[in-house]
Amino acid sequence: MHSSVVKFISRCDTCLAYKLSTHGTLGKMGRPKNVSPPFQVLSIDLVGPLPNTRKQNKYIFVVTCCFSKYCICFHFTEPLLILLASTYKTMFFSCMAFLRLPISTVAFSCKKYERYSLRRKDAEFNVGDIVWKRFYFQSDKDAYFCKILAPKFIKCKYEGTEQERTE
């Protein structure tokens, strides 16, 4: 009896037109990140091109905290990589200086970054007397979902003179 009902419904044009699928489609975002403090993992994305606004902006640069889902959005007329990297860097380190949050990992979704900040292996960023140094993950587990080797920044106090730091 069940098989005959299935056969009848599978041939009915009206049933096929209005029948909903039994399973939902999964998104392409990957697995959720395992984070415990806020702003530990930040996810970035560029949305556009969208219809022009009054100020001729067509793109939205979205920065999202993976823990709290807090979003910060920036608008651009053109998606120039230098503008995106400098905006992200300014936002990232101003949050660090103002909020003093324990940021340790950043997940990126694009492959090229500003040369002086994220390509060099010895990149450092100063926020007051705190120095953020870049190093790579020891395993590919965290970097797997980004499709690149994501940079990780650690907070440390630098002992030494300014001349030793620049060498």
The DSSP string of 100-166 is -----B-B-SSS---IIIIISTT-EEEETTEEEEEEE-SSSTTTTTTTS--EEEEEEEPPS-HHHHH
CA–CA gap between residue 6 and residue 9 (Å, rounded): 5
Find all residues with CB under 8 Å of 67, minimum gap 6, and list them.
35, 36, 37, 38, 39, 40, 41
CA–CA gap between residue 125 and residue 142 (Å, rounded): 22
Task: State the DSSP code for 83.
Answer: H
- Residue ranges per structural domain of the chain: 41-112, 129-158
What is the identity of the amino acid at 74?
Answer: F
What integer pLDDT is reported at residue 62 of this predicted model?
79
Residue 25 confidence (pLDDT) above 70: no
Q: What is the mean pLDDT of the chain?
A: 60
Confidence grade of residue 67 (pLDDT, cut at 50, 70, 90):
confident
What integer pLDDT is reported at residue 138 of this predicted model?
44
User: Per mean pLDDT, which range of 6-10, 75-79, 98-102 is the poorest?
Assistant: 98-102
The more confident residue out of 129 and 31 is: 31
Beta bridge mates, 60: 47, 75
Strand ranges of the sheet holding 124-127, from the earlier edge strand across to the other edge? 124-127, 130-136, 151-157
Task: State the DSSP code for 10.
Answer: H
For the chain, what is the largest distance between any 2 Cα atoms, rounded to a whole number of angstroms?
85
Report how far Cα 102 is from the mean position of its chain's Cα atoms: 17
Quick one: average pLDDT of 8-20?
A: 73
Second CATH level (architecture) for the domain 41-112: 2-Layer Sandwich (3.30)
What integer pLDDT is reported at residue 144 of this predicted model?
45
